[in-house]
A and B are shown apart, each in its own frame.
Chain A
Amino acid sequence: MDTSGLDETKLIWMYRTMLAIRGFEVRIRELFTEGRIGGLLHSYEGEEAVATGVCAALRPDDLIVSTHRGHGHLIAKGGSLDRMMAELFARETGYCRAKGGSAHMVDVSLGILGANGIVGAGLPIATGAGTAVKLRRTGQVVVCFFGDGASNTGAFHEAVNLASVWTLPIVFVCENNLYAQFVRQELHSKLADLHQRSVGYAMPGCMVDGNDVLAVYEVTTAAVARARAGEGPSLIEAKTYRYTGHAISNPASALGRSVEEVEAWKKRDPIERMARLLSQQGVLTPELDERLHAEIDQAVEASIAFAEASPHPRPEEALEDVYASLPEGARL
């Protein structure tokens, strides 16, 4: 980790953001276990440094395309905990007015083009966003998050190839957490270091310790600069680890992971590492740390209160928003 060149505000923002993601995701898991929220939920616990380090390198008007494991990206890009929680509680005030749930949250005003329930589907969509910003000459950059599992899809190949041949302003970020759903990476790919696939698309690729938020920030900054300068896409592989199962309803034990493996990764926990570094640098005092933890707890609890106080949607709303417009008299 290297904090040189970064001001304190940014460093604290990174730390706080990772705390917010962890706090939110841990609380979600509790709520799910208690039966207060339901549906398919995929936790970002353990991967916080990737979303945070990447989004720290972006302009507010840059765009991100996310995955089914998207709460971390949404929070790091500035998403509202209240509207996220309300969506998970299936209330009117949720991001998707309770129509989408966890894997379909979008906030176009923040440049968040969605979470997606189909593995790999975000990659082609990212090429569209990249094409649009290129045509408009806005200088915006698109970051496309995807996992090691998605890198085996046809959609990945088609999209990355298209981005390469069209020189699109996209940074492809592969969050390699070593498991695609339930399957260990070596059973789904002979290639251990997935960023090497970039060679096949004549684009730069690099690997980074995904649990080192400052390293993620650094490589992303370089890739974003390339894209913004019109030099085209890059592929970043962030090696990281998820503490939970694929969906939080799947026990982590179903992955068949050894205790040693999990413990080794927990020793590299991204939040603890950042806390240690910032304390050493005098940026994070025990008082500040305690205050930040308390703030996050309060914010998460407030989002739950907001959600629970929000109205349920009327059942008939299920028939709304299938189309933006229909002719008079047309029926669904």
Chain B
Amino acid sequence: MRQISVRDAVNEALAEEMRRDDRVFLLGEDITDPWGGTFGVTRGLSTEFGAERVRETPISEAAIVGCAVGAAMIGMRPVAELMFNDFIGIAMDQLANQAAKLRYMTGGQVNLPLVVRTSAGAGRAAASQHSQSLEGWLVHVPGLKVVMPSTPYDAKGLLRSAIRDPDPVVFIEHKMTYNLKGPVPEGEYEVPLGVADVKRDGRDVTVIAYSFQVHRALVAAERLAREGVEVEVVDPRTLYPLDLATIVESVRKTGRVVIVHEAVERGGFGAELAAQLAAEAFDYLDSPIARVATANTPIPFAPVMESYVLPTEERIMAAVGKVMD
């Protein structure tokens, strides 16, 4: 099977959905050719689809998301890009008070089939205001759906589903995955929202990880296998709606849980997950649930400090050791 990067996978999903449905249009900063987006994800799209369907915006995050809201309210399928999820604060009213709530507040008169694509994550010395993982803010807002793919296959399939979804979806790409290659079939396929994926089978411990941390977890799992510990890596892929059943099934098998995320530990999605597992899978647990997450600090600039605060394979392995104890 061909191997393509997350960048190319997202690009293909956008192009294919735009060819298929002319209600789909893109808007965002720097997304047109020749630049094609700050990470090159939208390269080629303005050339193929023109300036009306690939719309260059000013630096106006509130207007970008608000424009998507208004267009979606009357039946278009906008895909808005917020260059870095760290900028989401500027758009937060339109996302949390408008996009998330208009269907509910209007008693179901409208639905908002919009997608906000954005990038998250650290590892590039981009420092505090360009390195965050803010999915926790979004999962906390009823009315939003939140997707964080880890692989090219998942990214393409999930983005197609997100664009076809009748509800507002925030689609969070990790900047460290844009160059990561993986198998992606030719031809049409979708990955449904709300379905988790077991990325690696194992009988001893369940490591739940998402986005870039899936890859850290898989490396840690390989190293642990050499020590005779078989790790099962479960990637939720969609944070809301969450496929708790698949995760619980894994916990039933292993009895031990380590949750890994790059978001800051305090109040992170891992806390929500841990609470749900404590309620639904308590009888299966042989030890307390562990979390491996970024320290409760902003992300520092210096590479040595940045790697100090982030999850690492070593920290994941140490956490596995602790829950196996």
Q: Which residues of A contact B (CB under 8 A)?
A: 63, 65, 94-100, 104-108, 113-114, 116-118, 121, 123-133, 135, 154-155, 158-159, 161-162, 165-166, 320-327, 329-330, 332
Contact = CB atoms under 8 A, between A and B. Distances in A.
Nearest to A106: B106
A107 B73 CA distance: 11
B25 A135 contact: yes
Interface in B67-95: 67-76, 78, 90, 93-94
26 contacts: A96-B107, A97-B107, A97-B108, A104-B105, A104-B106, A106-B106, A113-B74, A117-B97, A118-B93, A127-B63, A131-B55, A135-B76, A154-B90, A158-B58, A158-B61, A158-B62, A158-B63, A321-B104, A323-B166, A324-B108, A324-B111, A324-B167, A325-B165, A327-B192, A327-B194, A330-B242
Contacts, number: 162
Given A155-B66, A327-B192, A162 B25 contact: no
Nearest to B76: A132
B296 to A, nearest CB: 28
A131 B63 contact: no
A155 B69 CA distance: 13
Nearest to A100: B105
B167 to A, nearest CB: 5
Given A165-B58, A323-B143, A128 B69 contact: yes
A107 B110 CA distance: 9
Nearest to A107: B109
Give 7 closest A-B pairs by Cβ, nearest first. A124-B66, A128-B70, A97-B107, A158-B63, A327-B194, A324-B166, A330-B241
B278 interface: no
Given A124-B70, A132-B74, A325-B166, A154 B62 contact: yes
B7 interface: no
Nearest to A119: B93
Nearest to A136: B76
Interface residues of B, number: 54
B66 A108 contact: no
Interface in B96-121: 97-98, 102-111, 113
Interface string B53-67: 101011011110111
A95 B52 CA distance: 34
Contacts of B102: 106, 114
B54 to A, nearest CB: 12
Given A114-B102, A155-B66, A129 B73 contact: yes
Contacts of B57: 162
Contacts of A332: 142
B145 interface: yes
A125 B142 contact: no
Contacts of B97: 117-118, 121
A128 B71 CA distance: 4
A124 B69 contact: yes
A130 B62 CA distance: 16
Interface string B268-295: 0000000000000000000000000000
Contacts of B142: 322, 332
Nearest to A142: B70
B103 A129 contact: no
B11 to A, nearest CB: 22
Contacts of B71: 128-129, 131-132
A279 to B, nearest CB: 41
Given A127-B70, A159-B63, A325 B105 contact: no
A251 B273 CA distance: 48
A99 B104 contact: yes
Contacts of B76: 128, 131-132, 135
